[in-house]
Amino acid sequence: MQQAVVATPVHQPKQPLTLALRPAAEAYDFEYFRDRLAVPAILDDAVAVRIFRAPLLAVPVGGPRLGGYMSFDLLMLAMAARDLLDNQAGFPNLRVRWSPYGDTCHTVEWGDPAPEWWEDDAVLGRFYGYSEGAISAFTQHRPQTPSSAISEPCSPTAR
């Protein structure tokens, strides 16, 4: 498995940050994805990206799964993860989406571009290859914003 060493940020201890690819089953969230994907066999090509000591699952595209992403608080970690995933099967069109906001994570994305954030949760769930049962369970406990509300401005000054 591959490993990347990233420069230490100024505000961190003086140890380099290390990212490494590990077997998918080592990921903390492996069971979460296995239980929710429409085609769990896609996990045969997944990998765990270990950040510090926490391995998190990177699920490749395939079958009904058209794209994927991972979130990172530090841009340099996102870039290192992109570099590690670059040689892995199932992670086409790798890109880093930089966040200009301090309270929003940077992401590494792969596959097709995701639907816009305001899309219905069911549309997003199908894009990411979740089963209809998992999508239904998620949406019934989460309020949905009607698409008609998105197109209307919040205030007269929003025009």
Would you say residue 149 lies in a domain? no
Would you say residue 154 lies in a domain? no
Query: Do the beta carbons of residue 96 and residue 108 sit within 8 Å?
Result: yes
- Measured between alpha carbons, how far is 59 from 29 in angstroms, rounded to an integer? 11
Q: Is the pLDDT of residue 148 over 80?
A: no
Q: Which pTM value belongs to this model?
A: 0.79
Domain count, the chain: 1
For residue 5, what pLDDT band results from cuts at 50, 70 and 90?
low
- Measured between alpha carbons, how far is 39 from 78 in angstroms, rounded to an integer? 27
Q: By residue range, what is the domain housing residue 42?
A: 3-142
Structure tokens at 77: 């970690």
Q: Is the pLDDT of residue 88 over 50?
A: yes
Would you say residue 153 lies in a domain? no
Residue 138: what pLDDT? 93
- Measured between alpha carbons, how far is 53 from 11 in angstroms, rounded to an integer? 19
Q: Is the pLDDT of residue 86 over 90?
A: yes
Radius of gyration of the chain (CA): 17
Q: Is the pLDDT of residue 153 over 90?
A: no
Residue 26: what pLDDT? 97
Give the type of residue at 57: L
Would you say residue 147 lies in a domain? no
H/E stretch holding 126 reads helix 121-127
Q: What is the DSSP letter of 51?
A: E
